[in-house]
Chain A
Amino acid sequence: MGITRDSRHKRSETGAQRAQYRKKRKFELGRQPAMTKLGAKRIHPVRTRGGNLKHRALRLESGNFAWGSEHTTRKTRIIGVVYNASNNELVRTNTIVKSCIVQIDAAPFRQWYEAHYAQPVTKKGARSKDAPEEAEKTQSAHVKRTIAERQKEAKIDPLLESQFQAGRLYASISSRPGQSGRADGYVLEGKELEFYLRRLRAGKAKHAA
């Protein structure tokens, strides 16, 4: 094996060079990084210590994303990697890692919202079809009441609304694709969303200039 995770090759705390007195051991092994890209799903299982399995995702195209404030989760397509705090190269090559910011398809969340709140997500009704108006079946009194209750909480953040208009939401990956084989995450909201939007803007401005 090439990659090890030992500390015997490093200098000690005082700076002394440590003599090598034994060979590399199997329990210190490390493996090549997954570098999961965007594409048709390709996952390789890896046998690990103790006979356990890790699912190394080499290519992924969708993931399970949670919309925290609305408490729903939907499986969505990942469109592209947009920001990575550690390495811009990973953004350029569309590599999915934990805690990178991606754009996801907003359609499943919009569908959930419109079913739940019986309201279009965006102000411009052009995107959300007018069909719901006509297909409005007679609702029972109970349904009407629940919908009326929900209308009170139906307002969503303007930053999110503009993302819905574009059809893409910003999300952060919170799983480790190289370990679990999945790219799951959560939709960015609030302060975190502002922070990353600002970073993205600054990045674009620097490139434009």
Chain B
Amino acid sequence: MAGTSGGRGGTPGSLDLTREGEMLTLYPLSSPLSSHQPTAFKMAEQIEKSFQKQPLFHNTKFATSSKKVGGKDRRWYKDVGLGFKTPKEAINGTYIDKKCPFTGEVSIRGRILTGKVVSAKMTRTIVIRREYLHYVPKYNRYEKRHKNLAAHCSPAFRVEVGDTVTVGQCRPLSKTVRFNVLRVSKAKAKTFVKF
């Protein structure tokens, strides 16, 4: 069932009976059958109790777009501007994140800051630490200070503690989150130099 309708562009696999005069096929509601097609993505991503989707219209009857997209369903993504490359994982991935700067509904404007990741334990958000020096005039010297910043981290990025990360300002996403990760500048050194 998925195999035959897999050759068509347009509507998702198991429901596309428009062109062929097939008999009504009984298709199971869970779709493990769509194994070799990337259409299985929607089911794996739907963890929440409501249907996660990008605000696009997916159910056109007519396979108007002749280009056969890799996944059956169209994916919307955008270029955030300011020279930041949108990662491949955002374009080809299957996650749904409305707060992602590339595939969601937030825009990046205002400040662009960098910092080092301190904690990545929250779902889809990280805490970064920005260090700076503060001058004390009396002693003619500097002191180290730091500020922590909570930033939303799209599933397009794999971030670990210790990475350097560039974040851009966006509208408030939660009580403390006003920034969004745009680029993971330096992954931690893979080769551990142990002496």
Which 7 pairs from chain A and chain B are nearest by CB? Answer: A85-B50, A85-B49, A189-B59, A190-B59, A69-B61, A69-B59, A195-B51
| Interface segment, one of A44-52, A55-63, A139-147, A196-204 | A196-204
Q: Which residues of B contact A198 (CB under 8 A)?
A: 29-30
| Interface segment, one of A102-110, A129-137, A150-158 | A150-158
Is A10's CB within 8 Å of the partner chain B?
yes
Counting residue pairs across A and B whose Cβ atoms lie within 8 Å, the total is: 56
In the assembled complex, the Cα of A155 lies from the Cα of B17 at a distance in Å of: 8
The closest CB in chain B to the CB of A158 belongs to: B24
Is A194's CB within 8 Å of the partner chain B?
yes
The closest CB in chain B to the CB of A7 belongs to: B175
Q: A13-B175, A157-B17, A190-B11 are in contact. List 16 more A-B contacts (CB 8 A).
A: A13-B176, A68-B60, A69-B61, A85-B50, A86-B50, A99-B50, A153-B18, A153-B62, A158-B15, A189-B59, A191-B53, A191-B73, A192-B53, A192-B58, A195-B42, A199-B49
Q: Would you mind naming 6 contact pairs between A and B with Cβ atoms under 8 Å apart? A: A86-B49, A153-B18, A153-B61, A155-B17, A191-B51, A201-B29
Q: Which residues of B contact A196 (CB under 8 A)?
A: 51
Q: Which residues of B contact A189 (CB under 8 A)?
A: 59
Q: Which residues of B contact A199 (CB under 8 A)?
A: 49
Residue in contact with A194 in the complex, picked from B29, B50, B61, B150, CB distance below 8 Å: B29
> Chain B, 43-54, contact with A by CB distance < 8 Å: what is the 0/1 string?
100101111010
In the assembled complex, the Cα of A178 lies from the Cα of B118 at a distance in Å of: 42
Q: Which residues of B contact A201 (CB under 8 A)?
A: 29
Number of interface residues of A (CB under 8 A): 25
In the assembled complex, the Cα of A182 lies from the Cα of B150 at a distance in Å of: 38
Q: Which of B73, B150, B175 has the most CB of A within 10 A?
A: B175
Q: Which of A69, A86, A99 has the most CB of B within 10 A?
A: A69
Is A28's CB within 8 Å of the partner chain B?
no
Measured CB to CB, the closest approach of chain B to A12, in angstroms, equals: 9
Query: Does B175 contact A190, Cβ atoms closer than 8 Å?
Result: no
Measured CB to CB, the closest approach of chain B to A171, in angstroms, equals: 13
Measured CB to CB, the closest approach of chain B to A45, in angstroms, equals: 29
Residue in contact with B15 in the complex, picked from A68, A99, A159, A197, CB distance below 8 Å: A159
The closest CB in chain B to the CB of A100 belongs to: B50
Q: Which residues of B contact A68 (CB under 8 A)?
A: 57, 59-60
Residues 9-56 (chain A) with a chain B CB within 8 angstroms: 10, 13
Q: Which residues of B contact A70 (CB under 8 A)?
A: 61
Measured CB to CB, the closest approach of chain B to A155, in angstroms, equals: 5
Residues 154-182 (chain B) with a chain A CB within 8 angstroms: 175-176
Q: Which residues of B contact A13 (CB under 8 A)?
A: 150, 175-176
In the assembled complex, the Cα of A92 lies from the Cα of B136 at a distance in Å of: 64
Measured CB to CB, the closest approach of chain B to A95, in angstroms, equals: 16
Q: Which residues of A contact B53 (CB under 8 A)?
A: 191-192
Residues 71-91 (chain B) with a chain A CB within 8 angstroms: 73
Is B104's CB within 8 Å of the partner chain A?
no
In the assembled complex, the Cα of A66 lies from the Cα of B81 at a distance in Å of: 35
In the assembled complex, the Cα of A197 lies from the Cα of B12 at a distance in Å of: 16
Query: Does B175 contact A10, Cβ atoms closer than 8 Å?
Result: yes
Query: Does B51 contact A190, Cβ atoms closer than 8 Å?
Result: no
Query: Does A197 contact B29, Cβ atoms closer than 8 Å?
Result: yes
